[in-house]
Structure 1
Amino acid sequence: MSHLTGKQVAILATDGYEDSELIEPLKALREHNAIVDIIAPEAGSIRGKNGHEEPVTVTTAAADAAKYDALVLPGGVVNSDNIRLDSFAVELTRDFFEQHKPVGAICHAPWILADAAVLKGRTVTSFKSLKTDLQNAGATWVDEEVVVDQGLVTSRTPDDLPAFNAKLIEEIGEGKHEGQTA
C-alpha cells in the first residue's frame, strides 16, 4: 500500500489523548507509507490516558504547517482541552485550513477547531457533549459515524475509527481542497 508515499502528516496531541485515536490513525497512515510527525507542546514524549507513550518529533512552537500535507487531531478530554490552550497549536491548526490542507479530528478534538475559528459554515460531528460548543462556533453538528466537509474529516468516538481512518486516507490522497476556507 503506497497510496500516501511522500505525504507528510502531522498528528497534534499532548498528554491525555485517547490512545486508540492516536494509535489507529498513526498505524493507518504508516501502512499507506505516509511520513508522520507527532507534534506536542513540549519535547520528549506524550502519554495517552491508557498509558501508551509516543515520542514527540516536533514541538508546536517549532512546527510549520507548510511542511505537511495534512493534520490529524486525536481526541481525549484532557488532551483536547489542554492542546487548545497552546497558542502555537491553535495557530498551527488554523494554518492548515488557510493552506487548504486535509484535517482529521475525532471525538473531543474538534474543540481545537472551535478555538482556531475554522468551523463557521461547516458540517461536523464529534463526541456528543461538544455539540453546543461546535454549533456556537458556527458549525452544523450531525450525529454520524464520519463527516467530510471540504477536506475536514470528523468522527464521534473510537468506534468510528475504521470509517474515520478510511476517509482520512482518502482526503490526504486527494490533497488540497481549494474550496476549504479558514
Structure 2
Amino acid sequence: MTDLSGKKIAFAVASEGIEQIELTSPWEAVEQAGGQPVLVSVESGKVQAFNHLDKGDTFPVDVTFEDADVSEYDGLVLPGGVANPDSLRMDADAVAFVKGFFDAGKPVAAICHAPWSLVEADVVRGRTLTSWPSLQTDLRNAGAEWKDDEVVVDGNLVTSRKPDDLPAFNEAALTAFAR
C-alpha cells in the first residue's frame, strides 16, 4: 500500500456542483494511505456536492484559495462535476492556486470535467491527458493531446474520465503523491 504519512493533499473545489464521489473516493484513498486531505474552496463555510444532478452532502471548507499556500501541500486533487470546474476557472485565486502546483512541479490529479481548470491555468499545452469526452475539443484547442483512457499519467499530471475510473485514478494519484 502507498504511504502518504506526513503529506498534505489539497482538494480544490468551488462552492457547489462538485461530483460527490469524485471528492469522497480520492479523499478516503488519501486518508487510508496516511495522508491529510484538506478542502480548499473559494469561500469559507461548506460546499455542496452533487450526485450527478441531485444534491448530495455538504462538506466543511478547511481554507480558502485566498489564504491557501501551495508550498504547504504535497499534491492537488481536482474533482469534477460540470459546475465545479466551470466555476473554479472563473475565480482568479483558484486558477492561481492550480497553476502554482505546476509551477512548483507538484503532482496534480484531475478527473472528469476538472481539466477545465487546467485549461484556464494554461498548463495543458504539450501534455497528454484524458477527461470527460465533451472536454476533448477544449483540451486540444489548449494544446493538449487527448486520449480516451481510464487513466493517463503525464509526468506530474494524473487524469481520468469519469467516476467508473476512480479505482485507477486513485491508485495513480496516490503513486504520484508518494514520490
Which category describes the TM-score, using the shorter chain as reference length? over 0.9
Deviation at 1:80, TM superposition (A): 1.1
Distance 2:177 2:30 in 1: 10
Question: Which amino acid letter does the alignment assign opposite residue 98 of structure 2?
Answer: T
Match of 1:177 in 2: none
Distance 1:123 1:2 in 2: 25
| Bigger fraction of residues in strand | 2
Let me know the Cα RMSD of the aligned residues: 0.9
Structure 2 residue 167 is the aligned partner of structure 1 residue 162:
yes
Match of 2:99 in 1: 94
Question: Relative to 1, partners in 2 of residues 1:136 and 1:57: Cα closer, same or farther, differing over 3 Å?
Answer: same
Residue deviations 1:122-151 (CA, integer Å, cap 9, x gap): 000000000000011110000000000001
Question: Relative to 1, partners in 2 of residues 1:156 and 1:43: Cα closer, same or farther, differing over 3 Å?
Answer: same
* Larger displacement relative to structure 2 (148-157 or 1-10): 1-10
Question: Which amino acid letter does the alignment assign opposite residue 78 of structure 2?
Answer: L
Match of 2:70 in 1: 65
Deviation at 1:2, TM superposition (A): 6.6
Task: Look up the SS of the partner of 1:12 in the other structure.
Answer: strand
Map 1:32-181 onto structure 2 (within 5 A): 32-50=33-51, 51-174=56-179
Question: Relative to 1, partners in 2 of residues 1:2 and 1:105: Cα closer, same or farther, differing over 3 Å?
Answer: closer
Distance 1:79 1:2 in 2: 28
Task: Look up the SS of the partner of 1:17 in the other structure.
Answer: strand
What TM-score do the two structures reach when normalised by structure 1? 0.94
Moved over 6 A (4+): none
What TM-score do the two structures reach when normalised by structure 2? 0.95
* Structure 2 unaligned residues grouped into runs of 5+: none
Deviation at 1:54, TM superposition (A): 1.0
Task: Look up the SS of the partner of 2:174 in the other structure.
Answer: helix
* Structure 1 unaligned residues grouped into runs of 5+: 175-182
Match of 1:180 in 2: none
